């Protein structure tokens, strides 16, 4: 069956937002915590985010007007909750953009520094300016770029997986209970793409059933791609896996293959940057009433300022953003859906099955905030 082009556009926006820098921290964290820990966290986080996504899609389908998360929160929870949603959405996306800029600039540096020259700061600025130029254009243009980059990304990832599968330098049956919680924030961060659901819905078919299916495919595809990537990296580098996954492969792979890895890194960070940047840009436009130019400045200024101030440990930023900001944003969505579903209870013959999960998942995500606080200390302890 041939899928309509709008479905590919929607899927590319969602996948582009989900697939990103999170994948490059996973091999290092998995080497410490164990393959079993990674799979369990993918199972837990994947299920939680699937339910959160389904809740958000239903709210989107039954709300009036063109908004992003803060606007929908105001409709269903009121102005105070809107302010909380603006804070969590802004901080989570700003944190994500900071992580993408740090590592994306580093991948560009690794690709071109030897032949062209230039500092890491120069390439970070090149990354930023390129992303800003795309954010200024329309969403459909971004979707076309996303499709091309994602196809190229998947081809290169397949080549890396084939190369890594030829040798196995890691015991995939081992795991260390002391570091079981270590991957939590990074896994949650790496699977978060719910912010761009409204952007995907604007590109074509918006029905609840279709959007749920598209979101599920994007989330499941991301989990599969991450697992293949982590398996390939650990097979080649084992416990010597580096914090950015790729620099630890120097000397283990031919230089041409390693260059493919750097290109994969750039594409993954760049597509996620423009997907999430586009969402925050429209949040400032639609929910804050800013002009297009001011919204672009509001989107990009803070992460760039923090990067220029010298913040460079992307694993700590990713763990904190994943468990705290992203976790808080997911809790707000679940609370909004809980209020929304009870307000519409008279329309159903029985309670909506999603409402049975919202409150337990809010408690689970609240516990995850504690894990997020502990993660930087564990990373520092392990070194």
Predicted confidence band of residue 43 (pLDDT cuts 50, 70, 90):
very high
- pLDDT reading at 315 higher than 90: no
pTM of model > 0.75: yes
Report the alpha-carbon distance of residue 38 to residue 29 in Å, rounded. Answer: 9
Predicted confidence band of residue 224 (pLDDT cuts 50, 70, 90):
very high
Q: How many CB atoms lie within 10 A of CB 313?
A: 14
Q: How many CB atoms lie within 10 A of CB 200?
A: 32
Q: Is 362 in contact with 223 (CB distance < 8 Å)?
A: no
3-class SS at 51? helix
Q: Which of 312 and 99 is assigned the larger pLDDT? A: 99
Report the alpha-carbon distance of residue 324 to residue 368 in Å, rounded. Answer: 8
Contacts of residue 108, defined as CB under 8 A and 6 or more positions apart, other chains included, come to 123, 124, 126, 127, 266
Lowest mean pLDDT among 185-189, 216-220, 235-239, 295-299: 235-239
- pLDDT reading at 38 higher than 50: yes
Q: Is 79 in contact with 229 (CB distance < 8 Å)?
A: no
Lowest mean pLDDT among 8-22, 94-108, 218-232: 8-22
The arithmetic mean of pLDDT across residues 238-261, rounded, is 73
Q: Is 19 in contact with 153 (CB distance < 8 Å)?
A: yes
Q: Which of 195 and 47 is assigned the larger pLDDT? A: 47
Q: Tokens for 101?
A: 């800029």
- pLDDT reading at 96 higher than 60: yes
- pLDDT reading at 49 higher than 90: yes
The arithmetic mean of pLDDT across residues 47-64, rounded, is 90
- pLDDT reading at 69 higher than 80: yes
The arithmetic mean of pLDDT across residues 356-380, rounded, is 78
- pLDDT reading at 140 higher than 70: no
**DSSP, residue by residue, 109-151:** HHHHHHHH---HHHHHHHHHHHHHHHHTS-HHHHHHHHHHHHH
Report the alpha-carbon distance of residue 382 to residue 321 in Å, rounded. Answer: 20
Closest CA to 270 of 377, 126, 379: 126
Closest CA to 323 of 191, 184, 223, 193: 184
The arithmetic mean of pLDDT across residues 279-289, rounded, is 82
Closest CA to 108 of 129, 130, 128, 123: 123
Predicted confidence band of residue 238 (pLDDT cuts 50, 70, 90):
confident
- pLDDT reading at 252 higher than 90: no
Q: Which of 335 and 325 is assigned the larger pLDDT? A: 335
Radius of gyration (Cα) for the chain, nearest Å? 20
Cα angle: 71, vertex 76, 79; to 5 degrees: 60
pLDDT at residue number 251:
67
The predicted-structure confidence for 13-29, as pLDDT tens digits, reads as follows: 888 778 877 788 888 88
Report the alpha-carbon distance of residue 230 to residue 301 in Å, rounded. Answer: 33
Closest CA to 269 of 142, 101, 120: 101
The arithmetic mean of pLDDT across residues 142-170, rounded, is 69
Beta strand ranges found along 86-235 (DSSP E) = none
- pLDDT reading at 1 higher than 50: no
The arithmetic mean of pLDDT across residues 141-153, rounded, is 67
Helix 69-77 and helix 327-343, axial crossing angle in degrees, nearest 10:
40
């Amino acid at each position: 069956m041939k899928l309509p082009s709008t479905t590919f556009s929607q899927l590319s926006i969602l996948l582009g937002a989900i697939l990103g820098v999170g994948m490059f921290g996973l091999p290092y964290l998995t080497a410490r915590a164990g393959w079993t820990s990674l799979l369990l966290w993918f199972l837990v986080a994947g299920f939680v985010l699937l339910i959160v996504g389904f809740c958000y899609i239903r709210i989107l389908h039954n709300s009036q007007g063109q908004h992003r998360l803060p606007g929908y929160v105001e409709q269903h929870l009121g102005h105070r909750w809107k302010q909380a949603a603006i804070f969590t959405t802004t901080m989570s996306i700003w944190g994500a953009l900071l992580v993408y800029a740090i590592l994306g600039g580093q991948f560009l540096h690794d690709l071109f520094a030897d032949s062209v020259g230039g500092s890491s700061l120069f390439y970070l600025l090149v990354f930023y300016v390129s992303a800003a130029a795309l954010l200024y254009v329309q969403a459909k243009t971004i979707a076309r770029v996303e499709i091309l980059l994602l196809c190229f990304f998947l081809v290169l990832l397949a080549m890396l997986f084939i190369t890594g599968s030829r040798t196995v330098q890691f015991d995939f049956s081992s795991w260390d209970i002391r570091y079981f919680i270590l991957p939590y924030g990074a896994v949650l961060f790496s699977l978060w793409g719910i912010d761009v659901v409204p952007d995907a819905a604007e590109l074509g078919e918006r029905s609840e059933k279709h959007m749920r299916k598209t979101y599920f495919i994007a989330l499941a595809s991301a989990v599969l791609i991450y697992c293949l990537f982590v398996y390939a990296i650990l097979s080649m580098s084992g416990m010597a896996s580096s914090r950015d996954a790729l620099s630890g492969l120097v000397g283990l792979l031919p230089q041409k293959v390693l260059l493919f890895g750097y290109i994969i890194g750039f594409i993954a960070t760049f597509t996620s940057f423009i997907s999430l940047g586009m969402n925050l840009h429209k949040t400032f436009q639609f929910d804050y009433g800013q002009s297009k130019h001011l919204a672009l400045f509001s989107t990009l200024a803070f992460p760039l300022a923090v990067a220029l101030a010298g913040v460079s440990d992307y694993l700590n930023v990713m763990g904190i953003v994943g468990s705290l900001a992203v976790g808080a944003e997911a809790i707000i969505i679940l609370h909004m859906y809980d209020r929304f579903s009870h307000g519409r209870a008279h329309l159903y013959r029985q309670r909506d099955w999603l409402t049975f999960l919202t409150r337990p998942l809010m408690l689970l995500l609240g516990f995850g905030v504690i894990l997020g606080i502990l993660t930087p200390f564990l990373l520092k302890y392990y070194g």
